[in-house]
Structure 1
Amino acid sequence: MKIMLITAGSRGDVEPFAAFARGAQAAGHKVRLALPDNSGVDLSGLDAISLGADFSAMIADQGVSPLTAMRSFRSTVKPVMRAVIVNSARAARDFAPDVLMYHPKIVSAPLVADHLGIPHIVVEAVPVTAPTRAFAAPGTTTASLGGAVNRLTYQAMGAAAGMFREELSEAAALLGASATSASAPAATMVTVSPQLLARPDDWPESVHLTGPWTAPATERALDTALAEFIAEPFVYAGFGSMAAGNAAARGRAIIEAARARSIRTLIVTGWGGIEVTEDLLGADIFVTDSAPHAQVMPQATAAIHHGGAGTVHTAARAGTTSIVVPFIADQPFWGKHLHRAGLAPKPIPYRRVSANTIGTALDAVPVYASANRALAERMADENGITVALEVVESTWRPRAQ
């Protein structure tokens, strides 16, 4: 089977697709992955092509503020999304796949699949396109608004697609298609562990909670200094691609809170979410721009992070207690969900980060330790890629000769 994978966004939006591509290749399928530039994800051994869009540059330019995004919609956001929408159509047309799998940002994917006469499957790291009465659409509110109103919040994705009508028309013209409306997906795959989020009873059978998509664990050689640092107890702190507010003040707050408790800290600066000024450096602090989560998380006593779905799952699989500092999108959802589930302290909005709020959360970590160890044991045998491949293979039907 020829499988086309298309994703957009930051590293957390790319990594699961790369992991699935490797799993599908190992299962004998021909796979092509179209993705944005400079994601930071290892693409070795993959048939990967560029969408000509750089989300890292966009975030560096405007941060993660929704207000800034609205102000720069025409000058910054729209050109990036035009590249994603139009080049996705071109990539799929040229590859001629049997199945198209895509991130919800790829709003042109359904019309492309219909034009090619193939099934399409939407893949989401958090359920934003599958309406349910159980909870409001992540990214809208963390409050439960009541069953019927909760379902209404899922209309936001449809409204977002409407912002790019011109780009969808351009994609349709590229394909020679006559319309920009399209069919519903043959399946929806949510790459979330059922141990973390119970499957809502009102989801249709076409919505699958697969579990996370992670590549097989490989113990790559760590930097010697990093390996030595994590050999003793420490707390991880990193906010991935988030860049907003005062990164230096966040770094100072985390270090001061940890030092007051004689806790060593691994700081991962990522795309600029944390900055450590020179006066804070010391033997109890290790600063790096990136670190392999799967290798460092199991050694950490706690992980201070933004609450992206990928990081939430990595910490959970490691049995490490999360301290969630949400910025945008689904992050407040995960922060509140972990707290409600008895797995983490209350989330700390990024504007409220201080030595006091971080310190209070660090003091609470032992309360959640046993629950997280038990969760890790339940998640140990999950294989989201295997489940997803079964869905794809059951969805696809060979074309008539």
Structure 2
Amino acid sequence: MEERPSSDQDPGVQSATPPDTQETQKIERIESELTQESGRVRDDGRVTVNLKSKIAKAFAQIAEEQAERFGRPSTVFHEAEAAIPVFCDVKLNIVIQIVGSRGDVQPFIALGNALQSHGHRVRIATHDVFADFVRKSYLEFFPIGGDPAKLMAYMVKNPGLLPRMETLRDGEIKKKQVMVGEMLDGCWRSCIEDDPITQEPFVADAIIANPPQFRPCPFTSVFPHPLADLTAGAENEEGKANWVSYGVVEWLTWQGLGNVINKWRSSIDLPPVPATEGPCLAETLEVPFTYCWSPALVPRPWDWPAHVDLADFLQSGNPPVYIGFGSIVVDDAEKLINTVISAVSKAGVRAVVSKGWSELAGASDPNIFYIGDCPHTWLFQHVAAVVHHGGAGTTACGLVNGRPTTIVPFFGDQPFWGKMVSKAGAGPDPIPHAELTAENLANAMQFCLTPEAAAAAQGIAAKMQHETGVATAVNSFHRNLPLDRMRCSIMPNQPAVWEYKKGKQSLTLSKVAVNILVENNKIEVSRLERHAIKPIIIENRRWDPLTGVLSSLTGTGLDMAKSTQDMFREPYREYKRARSSNSLEKSESAGSPSSGSSSANRDPFETSGNMAGASLKAFGKFSASYFRGMTVDLPYAAAEGFRRAPQWYGEKPKDYGTVSDWKSGIKVGGKNFVGGMTSGIAGMIKEPLRGALEDGSDGATKGLIKGALGMATKMPSGESPGPSRTRLKIFANAGINSVAGIGLMAYPFQGIAKSIEASFRTKTPKAIAAARLREGFALTVGMEISQEEKEEILQLFDVLLSSMG
């Protein structure tokens, strides 16, 4: 759902439409325009994807362009190679950011301890309630805020991508958005802020995050998105349909989180993520992923990257069935526990029932033992089967102990795990929590006690015994590090975070090295630049000239419309603010006669000035939106559309680099000019010849058409600008209008605009620089570097500096 800023509705203004109704209308509109067209959101939160929808067809077209993905892997993955330890001598500050329940946190505790053993400094950033759990594991803890119990309760009520109407009426949407914003801010602060207890400085060199941490999943053609249920058409191959499901689900998900994320990005000086790029961001940026599940249950896709009393109960009869729903918070806990008790009686079994966050507890029963928090790794060794909500961690724990499993999914990827367990024969079909009855739960438990289910679960356990999950995860992390760019030129086992330039050459320096060099007057802090180990530039990709131009015009129009609205709304807010202030001052004056009445009236000239200023500010935004849209965004969209157009007829578009500032803009513009001219002319000669050699006269004709298409799309962005070149040209054979010479101007203008914008976004870079300098000082003191070692560092710096000329 699109976020609605709280300031949009002044408390003193009565809207013609109540706020709750406005929110409801927005949700209904989104459902109508997006969800119903691309897929139906089911009660369990999964999306029945309509592969014939416009959105699905758009992703299918992208899949066509990456057709090789559906026949063979682009990079061969060898499991044996993945198990080989990867040597990493660079000691990093690693923050592991986790959103979710205790079951989500627990696997990362093991990973954090393993990374510690390799010499890294590890900080776990998660919800405040897990502080003791993390610190008792000898890991650093940083609170990111957010209440996991409230999050789970919200997800149980609203398992779908769009919230239920009763949730809107209760005002829970705004609360959830505020909580998400709080967690986003907490995750950012966990990267640069000191330890909350020891005050030891910390600046992250690498981030590890779990899937719920506000980012998309990687696409695969092996199986559909965990939240998708496909209704494939006859024309859709299974692999392509699976791949498309990720695009549709992530696109719908972005509609709910995109506005919140972009608002947060703005607060830390980052530009917004374009609506078209958010859903595919992980794919576009090639973010490394490590799946924390067992290949014994789900093989790795080829195309990716109170114990004493309890013990007495366990020993007093047949092994019981474990029943627990962990961090799930339900509205009617009494109904759920009554269903469980009745099912235990019907199945004729003994049971250990975990109270969990819903505090499940019923009447005393000799066949049921109620427990609080208890380690699954120990308990699952002593039960006959397990029944739970299907969290990934709990599912893995049950199967590694060879226990048949019944999954009662509530939301998210839980139905996916239920399907996988059932497919493996280690449990019955999952029972959606809304369909749970005493009868089907009893039948499910009896299924789990069959020899066939036990054998299947034991088979999975046998395979999992030979897996080294934590070691594999550590290797995966190390293997994806760009170590060649991470090393300090002077202290190779320290990560480089600064650059010191001399001419066209530069040295990469660690925090400790810089601190020593600054202390000894070898360098000045003002000459240091932040070292971008792996720069992330999010581009609003354009797939063709027509849609690129239309998308740019739409974006510019929306910005101008918002600015126009603000020209009237902001002055009115200033007026209402003045009235509210006067009313407050009058009430205070009435209670304190000695204060006089002169303070009870705000200067009307001041109010008028504020109103005029607000209007002028909005008009400035309007003008800026128009100027940027017409002189920067529109030409750039057209140039990028023409650059990518060769993919229509089977050619791979040339990559001239990314535009990040005015220098790179000029560089890319020049390359595009030369490349467009050269390729366009060469194609008119080579394509007919190539076609003639392959297919004779028919091939020559096809080659001529292909060459003409190439010239029509490549040369417009590469031709020289000038009065005679600025007229619209119509290429009949391509059916496209283009503006000549656009690329030579568009890319430099885009670079200049980015440089200007960057000059205003200085707060966050300054905060990062200050945190790095502070940590460098603390590290130097903590490492107790001797004077002799410092002298060696200074001498090596002098040698390297002299070699730079």
Larger relative helix fraction: 2
From the superposition, tell whether residues 34 and 137 of structure 1 become closer, same or farther in structure 2 (CA, over 3 Å).
same
Pick from 393, 404, 418 the counterpart of residue 335 of structure 1: 418
Matching residue of 1:20 = 111
Equivalent positions of 1:3-152 (< 5 A) are: 3-39=94-130, 42-43=133-134, 44=136, 45-60=138-153, 63-66=156-159, 67-68=163-164, 71=168, 72=171, 74-94=173-193, 95-107=202-214, 129-141=217-229, 146-152=238-244
**Alpha-carbon contact 1:89-1:174 (below 8 Å) kept:** no
Larger radius of gyration: 2
Secondary structure class of the residue paired with 1:244: coil
> Is 1:381 the counterpart of 2:466 in the alignment?
yes
Q: TM-score, normalised by structure 1?
A: 0.82
Amino acid at match of 1:225: D
Pick from 301, 309, 331 the counterpart of residue 225 of structure 1: 309
The alignment yields a C-alpha RMSD, in angstroms, of 2.6
**Alpha-carbon contact 1:86-1:170 (below 8 Å) kept:** no
Q: TM-score, normalised by structure 2?
A: 0.42
Amino acid at match of 1:48: F
From the superposition, tell whether residues 356 and 243 of structure 1 become closer, same or farther in structure 2 (CA, over 3 Å).
same
Matching residue of 1:188 = 289
Distance 1:106 1:185 in 2: 17
Q: Which is further off, 161-170 or 299-308?
A: 161-170
CA deviation string 1:95-128 (max 9, x = no partner): 3222111123333xxxxxxxxxxxxxx8xxxxx7
From the superposition, tell whether residues 101 and 375 of structure 1 become closer, same or farther in structure 2 (CA, over 3 Å).
same
> Is 1:292 the counterpart of 2:375 in the alignment?
yes
1:178 to partner: Cα distance: 4.6
Matching residue of 1:213 = none
| Gaps in structure 2 of 5+ consecutive residues | 1-91, 194-201, 275-280, 487-495, 497-507, 510-805
1:254 to partner: Cα distance: 2.4
**Alpha-carbon contact 1:303-1:321 (below 8 Å) kept:** yes
**Alpha-carbon contact 2:155-2:411 (below 8 Å) kept:** no
| Residue identity (%) | 26
Secondary structure class of the residue paired with 2:387: strand
Secondary structure class of the residue paired with 2:225: coil
**Alpha-carbon contact 2:418-2:429 (below 8 Å) kept:** yes
Pick from 231, 240, 250 the counterpart of residue 326 of structure 2: 240
**Alpha-carbon contact 1:56-1:271 (below 8 Å) kept:** yes
Distance 2:140 2:339 in 1: 43
CA deviation string 1:325-351 (max 9, x = no partner): 111111111111211121111211112
Amino acid at match of 1:377: A
From the superposition, tell whether residues 166 and 131 of structure 1 become closer, same or farther in structure 2 (CA, over 3 Å).
closer
From the superposition, tell whether residues 226 and 144 of structure 1 become closer, same or farther in structure 2 (CA, over 3 Å).
farther
Amino acid at match of 1:51: I
From the superposition, tell whether residues 198 and 292 of structure 1 become closer, same or farther in structure 2 (CA, over 3 Å).
same
Matching residue of 2:404 = 321
Amino acid at match of 2:383: A
Secondary structure class of the residue paired with 2:178: helix
Distance 1:249 1:89 in 2: 41
Q: How many matched pairs?
A: 362
From the superposition, tell whether residues 355 and 49 of structure 1 become closer, same or farther in structure 2 (CA, over 3 Å).
same
Equivalent positions of 1:133-212 (< 5 A) are: 133-141=221-229, 146-155=238-247, 156-178=249-271, 180=273, 184-203=285-304, 207=305
Q: Which is further off, 293-302 or 185-194?
A: 185-194
From the superposition, tell whether residues 78 and 189 of structure 1 become closer, same or farther in structure 2 (CA, over 3 Å).
same
From the superposition, tell whether residues 3 and 256 of structure 1 become closer, same or farther in structure 2 (CA, over 3 Å).
same
Secondary structure class of the residue paired with 1:248: helix
Amino acid at match of 1:202: D
Amino acid at match of 2:344: A
Amino acid at match of 1:223: H
Q: Which is further off, 150-159 or 165-174?
A: 165-174
Q: Which is further off, 37-46 or 75-84?
A: 37-46
Amino acid at match of 2:120: H
Secondary structure class of the residue paired with 2:289: strand
CA deviation string 1:67-97 (max 9, x = no partner): 3496355322101110111221222133322
Amino acid at match of 2:314: I
Amino acid at match of 2:295: P
1:358 to partner: Cα distance: 1.5
> Is 1:390 the counterpart of 2:475 in the alignment?
yes
CA deviation string 1:191-246 (max 9, x = no partner): 0111110122222xxx2xxxxxxxxxxxxxx5210121223411100011122353
Distance 1:47 1:244 in 2: 32
From the superposition, tell whether residues 48 and 40 of structure 1 become closer, same or farther in structure 2 (CA, over 3 Å).
closer
Secondary structure class of the residue paired with 2:285: coil
From the superposition, tell whether residues 357 and 176 of structure 1 become closer, same or farther in structure 2 (CA, over 3 Å).
same
1:34 to partner: Cα distance: 0.8
Distance 2:254 2:400 in 1: 34
Secondary structure class of the residue paired with 1:134: coil
1:276 to partner: Cα distance: 3.0
Amino acid at match of 2:108: F
Higher relative contact order (CA 8 A, sep 6+): 1
Distance 1:19 1:29 in 2: 14
CA deviation string 1:233-282 (max 9, x = no partner): 1110001112235332332232223234442110002111x73332xx12
CA deviation string 1:279-329 (max 9, x = no partner): xx1222111222211111121111111111111100000100001111111
Amino acid at match of 1:149: A
Pick from 352, 363, 368 the counterpart of residue 453 of structure 2: 368
From the superposition, tell whether residues 82 and 102 of structure 1 become closer, same or farther in structure 2 (CA, over 3 Å).
same
Distance 1:180 1:24 in 2: 32
